[in-house]
């Protein structure tokens, strides 16, 4: 009898750490890539919102403000920014990091604003979903007036409990990989100084604001 | 590989002599050395010089011509011109797919060429695509890649644009593989060649007009951005070819087996 109890107790002790960890494990499972259906529904609804803003009424500046709010909501801008800075994120000082993030957000916002007119009349339809190493990849066909339809893949991952876009792949080229080589090339050409990238970004922003 | 290196070494040497190779940073500077290796661009001085040459050429000649061309053509016309050009490239691609040992793509290319050259009026239209024979693409560089030839250092060629050692090696072969190459010389053919080459360049430039001006506007270092885009695009093209390279289910397989095989490897909608 005593032996039996001892076995039960030992068993309970053996299981306890696992039980204690289970909320963590469940949390981890939730933080993993969203299901294919979730990712597709997310891209569908985000795309509808985007199209309705671009094709809707209102001045360009109103649309730009709406688009910026939407993009901050559906795109993991901070995560992408960190990826783009790559290895230099570790080298950068905290002040440089926060300045970089601010500039990255601003650059994205300006890029969106300048694209609005080009995307007037845009339509899209979602297609297959495949699992990639970075998350679920949702294929879409984006059609613009007077242009051949483009095949665009949206990489969706769970960020902060919500599905978010972490990358855009056009014709096999990833946006964040391309950005990373662009930015790292600037830093490389200036002897590995992150400061050089920041000033180049500032110059570009002022050029965009002027033009 | 030996032949490849032998034929390309003079080219490399010429590039170095003309503009000088980039000096790699000392290995003691770990971060800089890693960055140098990752860029894989030892001919950067030569490449940048040809990039600037092409840029000037583009700004003063190609871009204005392309804008004029966009003004006088419709998107439909540009698409049909593009389809005509890719149809004239089909015989070369058929040979390349066969040389690469990709029978499924070779078959697709053959059917596309036969259907589009006849029903599609010399390739202006793409009825084969509507029949389910979607466009496939290869070239000599991708064929070499299929044999495991590495891409080698990056190259930016004057007139020809972004490339790498492997793809540049394939350029002479692709000229020979052009269907007009073995044709007997005649004035008509010469005129056709110049005309179609010029049209092809202008049409391609016009199709890329929005993309190119966007990249130049938004990137901090357009040279590095084009380099990255070229490499990623080539890798994706190679991946597409390998993805389609699957066996046809044998006729004696049961329906379930055929379905399982198809499902695992090949998706005809892609």
Let me know: does A187 contact A88? Beta carbons within 8 Å: yes
Least confident piece of the model among A39-53, A132-146, B42-56? A132-146
Closest residue to B220, CB basis, from A128, A192, A200: A200
Let me know: does A43 contact A138? Beta carbons within 8 Å: yes
Give every CB contact of residue A210 below 8 A, 6+ residues apart in sequence.
none
What confidence category does residue B262 fall into, taking pLDDT thresholds of 50, 70 and 90? low
ipTM of the complex: 0.77
* pLDDT computed for residue B251 by the predictor: 82
* Tens-place pLDDT, residues B193-245: 889 889 999 999 998 898 898 888 888 999 999 999 999 999 999 999 998 88
Answer whether B232 sits within 8 Å of A148, measured CB to CB.
no
A121 touches chain B (CB under 8 A): no
CA atoms within 13 A on the CB side of B107: 9
What confidence category does residue A23 fall into, taking pLDDT thresholds of 50, 70 and 90? very low
Closest residue to A185, CB basis, from B79, B224, B232: B224
* pLDDT computed for residue A7 by the predictor: 53
- Asked if the model's pLDDT at residue B256 lies above 70, the reply is yes
Identify the CA nearest to A83 among candidates A203, A202, A178, A193.
Answer: A178
Identify the CA nearest to B211 among candidates B220, B199, B200, B222.
Answer: B222
pTM as predicted: 0.81
- Asked if the model's pLDDT at residue B14 lies above 70, the reply is no
Alpha-carbon distance values, B70 to A41, A100, B62, B73 (Å): 37, 39, 12, 5
Closest residue to A178, CB basis, from B32, B39, B232: B232
Give the distance from residue B232's alpha carbon to the nearest chain A alpha carbon, in angstroms.
5
Give the distance from residue B230's alpha carbon to the nearest chain A alpha carbon, in angstroms.
9
* Tens-place pLDDT, residues B240-249: 999 888 887 8
Residue given tokens 């609804």 in the structure block:
A45
Identify the CA nearest to A168 among candidates A117, A101, A121, A115.
Answer: A115
Let me know: does B227 contact B41? Beta carbons within 8 Å: yes
Answer whether B236 sits within 8 Å of A182, measured CB to CB.
no
Q: Please state the φ and ψ torsions of residue A187, each to the nearest 5 degrees.
A: -65, -40
What confidence category does residue B140 fall into, taking pLDDT thresholds of 50, 70 and 90? very high
Answer whether B229 sits within 8 Å of A114, measured CB to CB.
no
Answer whether B224 sits within 8 Å of A197, measured CB to CB.
no
What confidence category does residue B255 fall into, taking pLDDT thresholds of 50, 70 and 90? confident
């Amino acid at each position: 009898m005593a032996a039996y109890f001892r076995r039960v107790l030992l068993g309970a002790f053996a299981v306890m750490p696992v039980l204690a960890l289970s909320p963590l494990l469940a949390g981890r499972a939730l933080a993993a890539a969203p299901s294919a259906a979730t990712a597709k529904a997310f891209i569908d609804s985000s795309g509808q919102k985007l199209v309705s803003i671009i094709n809707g009424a209102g001045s360009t500046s109103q649309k730009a403000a709406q688009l910026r709010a939407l993009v901050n909501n559906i795109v993991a801008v901070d995560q992408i920014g960190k990826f783009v800075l790559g290895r230099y994120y570790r080298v950068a000082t905290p002040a440089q990091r926060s300045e970089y993030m601010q500039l990255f957000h601003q650059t994205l916002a300006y890029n969106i604003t300048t694209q609005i007119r080009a995307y007037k009349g845009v339509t899209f339809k979602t297609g297959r979903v495949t699992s990639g190493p970075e998350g679920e990849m949702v294929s879409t066909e984006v059609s613009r007036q007077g242009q051949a339809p483009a095949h665009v893949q949206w990489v969706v991952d769970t960020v902060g409990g919500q599905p978010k876009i972490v990358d855009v792949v056009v014709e096999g080229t990833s946006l964040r990989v391309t950005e990373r080589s662009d930015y790292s090339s600037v830093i490389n050409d200036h002897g590995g100084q992150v400061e050089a990238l920041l000033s180049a970004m500032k110059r570009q922003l002022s050029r965009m604001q002027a033009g | 590989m030996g032949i490849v290196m032998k034929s390309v070494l003079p080219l490399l040497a010429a590039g170095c002599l003309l503009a000088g190779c980039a000096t790699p940073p000392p290995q003691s500077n770990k971060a800089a050395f890693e960055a140098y290796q990752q860029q894989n661009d030892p001919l950067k001085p030569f490449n940048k010089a040809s990039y600037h040459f092409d840029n000037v050429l583009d700004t003063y000649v190609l871009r204005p011509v392309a804008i004029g061309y966009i003004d006088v053509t419709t998107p439909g016309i540009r698409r049909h011109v593009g389809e005509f050009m890719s149809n004239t490239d089909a015989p070369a691609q058929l040979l390349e797919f066969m040389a690469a040992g990709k029978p499924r793509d070779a078959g697709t290319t053959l059917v596309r060429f036969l259907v589009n050259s006849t029903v599609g009026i010399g390739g202006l239209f793409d009825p084969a695509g509507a029949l389910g024979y979607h466009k496939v693409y290869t070239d000599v560089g991708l064929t070499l890649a299929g044999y495991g030839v590495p891409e080698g250092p990056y190259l930016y060629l004057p007139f020809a644009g972004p490339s790498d050692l492997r793809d540049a090696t394939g350029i002479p072969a692709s000229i020979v593989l052009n269907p007009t190459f073995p044709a007997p010389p005649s004035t008509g053919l010469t005129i056709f060649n110049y005309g179609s080459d010029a049209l092809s360049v202008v049409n391609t430039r016009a199709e890329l007009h929005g993309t190119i001006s966007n990249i130049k506007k938004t990137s901090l270092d357009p040279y590095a951005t084009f380099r990255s885009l070229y490499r990623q695009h080539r890798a994706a093209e190679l991946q597409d070819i390998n993805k389609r390279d699957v066996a046809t289910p044998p006729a004696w397989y049961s329906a379930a087996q055929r379905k399982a095989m198809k499902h695992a490897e090949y998706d005809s909608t892609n």
